[in-house]
């Protein structure tokens, strides 16, 4: 166990190093420079551009820039080129905004997809199963931005509530109930949208897992013993079908920082995805690279956690 | 005497029933596929989309196209679907070819039907080219990892490869002299190795060179680590970054989507190859002295292609969605060219006055992507050997 942990930590650190190199190269070798992002601006005289380049080490060779950047990142001194604020500070603020979306979306995904998946496995081939299957393909295939507009129109015309942004502007001194309701309405649509794809995929996965377990001999034995159907489904089948989902707990970690770019820009939600999008537009390399680095760390940590969980949960795996 | 014995033998042989199954493989596929009604519908929509994209390309391109997606008629803007043009105020060459606006007009009075036809071709090519690139890379890397996986890279190989990579990289960045030096050095090393291999080796090399011939890392590990590295990038964000940094063009989008989505295929192909390599027919072919190249492409690949086809079909759907998302964010195909994503993103400003500008492209994207997904799932059922035995 310990040797496994040690080996995989070393491996992940090596992977992380290569990820940092590759992302750095992708951004810096691509044509165009951040100092030329606004060439028509009369304030951008050649002297200013020169000072800018010198200030952010852009005149140094690439490997020196690389060392400078990651040195700053690890000591927490990285600043955004756009507004000179600390990048980690910025990311943390935006992360706190994205967090409610992530939590509500994840809870919706995991609470809805299990009942749907289990039910369609039990009623395999019947109307319920077929309509659930079709619906989940529909949800996977629908373009998020289109679905967002359909939902916005529906909610705005039927419930007459505003949904864009994090809260309605100018509700400073209204009652707490009103503020809470307002925040809930604003939170609901983007998190539902973020969860749709997840619900569709996960419920399909639950279904196939249940069907696979349902074909095993011990399920037939349980049925033959005359156990009630409920007990067979929920005690014997479900428990064994749950195993792969333990690993998926680790894999939702990267979603923390992902934050959907498209949904956050439609709802003008000031979250991570939108910040990354704005950083790309402004060629704010430190922000882009830091977001990339943090998300790579989260992906690696997620796979690591899921490996460990799997070892703990499945007694058949011995190290 | 001999002749009659031969005849008898022949007759003997013909008495037996033919052993091969009566149904061809294709017929078998069709039998299973037919039962999945959704997959059939998906397949027909897929064919329809394919045809309309090709017809659309013919009708909307060229000097004087039948449907001109770029023709601006400011007096005819935001007309609903099936509206008749006002013939009094319109120049005769501006009247749409079919006499009315099948899908309405947008805020500049352009015919949405013509623009949708033009966009169909973009979606089709983006889907197919991007997936083609990713499948090619995936099959190549997965095949190498699965078939030659147990071979080890020696340190001298790694030194050579890094020399070449550094050389190209340095030329790409700033210093062509150093890069060229790296390339030349690498080339000399290859020549040197080729020469020394030809000659019988002299007594002993100096001791430090022996270090160069140590095994460092197996090919399989190397490729799988590269896959791990690629999987660390958040894919849509990576695509967005690269597309935003590169000059806007449809080819860049295809290439970038293709280059960031080959990891799944690599894993499939590798897993299939690992199991196929141990099977008897591969051992038999190898014993016959067939070349590696022929074993891989003639004997193993047809057996490994099924999951790749399925994931490619679904990959096309994903690529179309990604392109639409990029166009929606404004990073797609540059403006005069219509794509479904940018028709939608232009139309969203008029969502209450002209909802068809949002709903027509949205629903068309939905239907096409859905048909690809359903068709892919149907294919998966067909390819699944467990299901096939039942019939």
pLDDT tens-digit map of A169-184: 776 677 788 888 888 8
Pairing of strands B152-154, B215-218: antiparallel
Number of structural domains in chain B: 1
CB–CB contact A149 B317 (8 Å): no
Contacts of A141 in chain B (CB under 8 A): 317, 321, 366, 369-370, 372-373
Q: Which residues pair with B218 in a beta bridge?
A: B152
* E strand residue ranges, A228-311: none
Q: What pLDDT does residue B130 have?
A: 93
The answer to whether B182 and B163 are in contact (CB under 8 A) is: yes
Domain membership of residue B264 (yes or no) is: yes
> From B241, which residue of chain A is nearest by alpha-carbon distance?
A280
- Is A289 at the interface with chain B, CB within 8 A? no
Residues ≥6 apart with Cβ < 8 Å to A205: A113, A117, A244
Confidence tier at B368 by pLDDT (50, 70, 90)? very high
Evaluate whether residue B316 is within a structural domain: yes
**pLDDT at res. A216:** 85
- The domain limits of chain A are 2-74, 91-313
Interface test with A, best of B178, B223, B232, B357 (most A CBs within 10 A): B232
Among B134-148, B166-180, B190-204, the range scoring the smallest mean pLDDT is B190-204
Q: Do A30 and B38 touch (CB under 8 A)?
A: no
pLDDT value at position B391?
A: 41
Across the interface, which of A138, A277, A292 has its CB nearest the CB of B370?
A: A138
Arithmetic mean of pLDDT over chain B: 80
Asked whether the predicted pLDDT for residue B203 surpasses 60, the reply is no
Shortest CA distance from A297: residue in chain B: B232
- The mean per-residue pLDDT over the stretch B11-39 comes to 68
What is the pLDDT at residue B1?
47
Residue B200, min C-alpha distance to chain A (Å): 40
The CA distance from B269 to B143, in Å, is 6
* Minimum distance, in Å, between the CA of residue A276 and any CA atom of chain B: 8
| B256-314 pLDDT per residue, tens | 899 988 998 998 889 888 888 888 988 899 899 888 888 888 888 888 888 888 889 88
**For B121-138, what is each residue's pLDDT tens digit?**
888 888 999 999 999 999
- The answer to whether the Cβ–Cβ distance between A262 and B345 falls below 8 Å is no
Of chain A residues 14-73, which have a CB less than 8 A from chain B?
Answer: 14-16, 18-19, 22-23, 25-27, 29-32, 61-62
Instruction: Kindly report the nearest CA distance between residue B244 and chain A, in angstroms.
Output: 7
Which H or E run includes B218? strand B215-218
Please answer yes or no on whether A134 and B321 come within 8 Å at the CB atom.
Answer: no
Which site among B36, B168, B234, B366 would you substitute to test the A interface, given the most A Cβ atoms closer than 10 Å to its Cβ?
B234
Cβ contact A29–B344 (<8 Å): no
Cβ atoms of A259 and A274 closer than 8 Å: yes
B244–A19 C-beta distance less than 8 A: no
Residue B284 lies in a domain: yes
Sequence-distant (≥ 6) Cβ neighbours of residue A172 within 8 angstroms: none
Q: Which fold would CATH assign to domain A91-313?
A: MetI-like fold (1.10.3720)
- Model pLDDT, residue B133: 94
Nearest-CA residue of chain A relative to B315?
Answer: A141
Which chain B residues are Cβ-neighbours of A299 within 8 angstroms?
A: 231-232, 234
Q: What are phi and psi of B83, to 5 degrees?
A: -75, 145
Between the alpha carbon of residue A281 and those of residues A38, A287, B124, B237, the distances in Å are 11, 11, 28, 12
The answer to whether the CB atoms of B234 and A30 lie below 8 A apart is no
pLDDT in tens, chain A (319 residues): 788 889 889 989 999 999 998 888 888 877 666 666 566 667 767 777 777 777 777 777 777 888 888 888 888 778 877 777 888 888 888 888 888 888 898 899 889 989 999 999 888 888 898 899 889 999 989 988 899 888 988 888 888 888 887 777 776 677 788 888 888 888 888 888 888 888 988 898 888 888 888 888 888 898 898 888 888 888 888 888 888 887 777 777 777 776 678 888 888 888 888 888 888 888 888 888 898 898 889 889 888 888 888 888 777 766 5
Q: What domain range is B187 assigned to? A: 25-70+110-390
Under 8 Å CB pairs connecting chains A and B tally to: 120
pTM: 0.83
Task: Report the C-alpha gap between B84 and B374 in whole angstroms.
Answer: 37
Residue B278 maps to a domain = yes
CATH of the domain at B136: 1.10.3720.10
């Amino acid at each position: 166990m310990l040797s496994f942990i040690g080996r995989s930590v070393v491996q992940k650190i090596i992977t992380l190093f290569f990820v940092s190199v590759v992302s750095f190269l992708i951004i810096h070798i691509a044509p165009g420079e951040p100092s030329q992002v606004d060439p028509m601006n009369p304030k951008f005289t050649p002297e200013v551009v020169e000072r800018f380049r010198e200030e952010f080490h852009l005149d140094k060779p690439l490997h020196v820039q690389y060392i400078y950047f990651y040195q700053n990142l690890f000591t927490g001194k990285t600043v955004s080129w756009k507004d000179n604020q600390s990048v980690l500070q910025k990311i943390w603020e935006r992360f706190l905004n994205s967090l409610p979306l992530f939590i509500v979306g994840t809870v919706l995904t995991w609470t809805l997809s299990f009942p749907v998946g289990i039910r369609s496995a039990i009623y395999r081939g019947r109307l319920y199963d077929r309509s659930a299957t079709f619906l989940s393909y529909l949800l996977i295939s629908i373009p998020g931005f289109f679905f967002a507009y359909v939902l916005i129109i529906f909610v705005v015309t039927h419930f007459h509530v505003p949904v864009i942004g994090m809260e309605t502007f100018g509700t400073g001194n209204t009652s707490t109930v009103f503020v809470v309701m307002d925040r809930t309405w604003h939170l609901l649509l983007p998190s539902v949208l973020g969860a749709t794809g997840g619900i569709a995929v996960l419920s399909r996965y639950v279904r196939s897992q249940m069907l696979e377990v349902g074909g095993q001999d011990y399920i037939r034995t349980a049925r033959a013993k005359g156990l009630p159907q409920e007990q067979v489904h929920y005690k014997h089948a479900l428990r064994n079908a749950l195993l792969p989902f333990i690993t998926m707990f680790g894999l939702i970690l990267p979603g923390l920082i992902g934050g959907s770019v498209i949904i956050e820009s439609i709802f003008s939600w000031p979250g991570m995805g939108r910040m990354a999008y704005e950083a790309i537009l402004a060629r704010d390399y430190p922000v882009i690279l830091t977001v990339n680095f943090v998300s790579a760390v989260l992906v690696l940590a997620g796979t690591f956690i899921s490996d460990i969980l799997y070892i703990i949960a499945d007694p058949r795996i011995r190290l | 005497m001999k002749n009659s014995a031969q005849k008898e033998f022949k007759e003997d042989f013909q008495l037996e029933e033919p052993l091969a199954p009566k149904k061809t493989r294709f017929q078998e596929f069709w039998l299973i596929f037919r039962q999945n009604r959704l997959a059939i519908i998906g397949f027909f929509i897929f064919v329809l989309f394919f045809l309309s994209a090709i017809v659309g390309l013919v009708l909307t391109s060229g000097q004087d196209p039948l449907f001109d997606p770029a023709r601006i008629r400011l007096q005819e803007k935001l007309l609903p679907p099936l509206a008749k043009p006002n013939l009094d105020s319109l120049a005769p060459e501006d009247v749409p070819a079919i006499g009315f606006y099948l899908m309405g007009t947008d805020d500049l009075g352009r015919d949405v039907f013509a623009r949708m036809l033009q966009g169909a071709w973009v979606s089709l090519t983006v889907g197919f080219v991007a997936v083609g690139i990713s499948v090619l890379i995936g099959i190549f890397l997965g095949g190498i990892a699965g078939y030659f996986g147990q071979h080890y890279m020696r340190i001298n190989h790694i030194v050579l490869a890094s020399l070449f990579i550094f050389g190209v990289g340095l030329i790409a960045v700033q210093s062509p002299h150093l890069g060229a030096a790296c390339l030349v050095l690498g080339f000399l090393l290859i020549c040197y190795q080729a020469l020394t291999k030809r000659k019988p080796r002299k007594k002993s090399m100096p001791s430090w060179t022996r270090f160069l011939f140590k095994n460092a890392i197996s090919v399989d590990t190397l490729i799988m680590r590269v896959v791990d590295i690629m999987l660390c990038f958040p894919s849509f964000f990576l695509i967005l970054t690269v597309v935003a940094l590169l000059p806007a063009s449809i080819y860049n989008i295809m290439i970038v989507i293709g280059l960031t989505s080959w990891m799944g295929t690599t894993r499939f192909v590798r897993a299939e190859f690992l199991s196929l390599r141990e099977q008897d027919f591969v051992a038999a072919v190898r014993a016959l002295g067939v070349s590696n190249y022929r074993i891989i492409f003639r004997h193993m690949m047809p057996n490994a292609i099924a999951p790749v086809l399925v994931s490619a079909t679904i990959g096309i759907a994903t690529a179309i969605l990604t392109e639409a998302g990029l166009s929606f964010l404004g990073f797609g195909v540059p403006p005069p060219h219509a794509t479904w994503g940018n028709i939608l993103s232009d139309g969203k400003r008029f969502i209450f006055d002209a909802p068809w500008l949002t709903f027509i492209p949205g629903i068309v994207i939905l239907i096409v992507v859905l048909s690809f997904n359903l068709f892919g799932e149907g294919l998966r059922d067909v390819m699944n050997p467990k299901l096939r035995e039942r019939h």
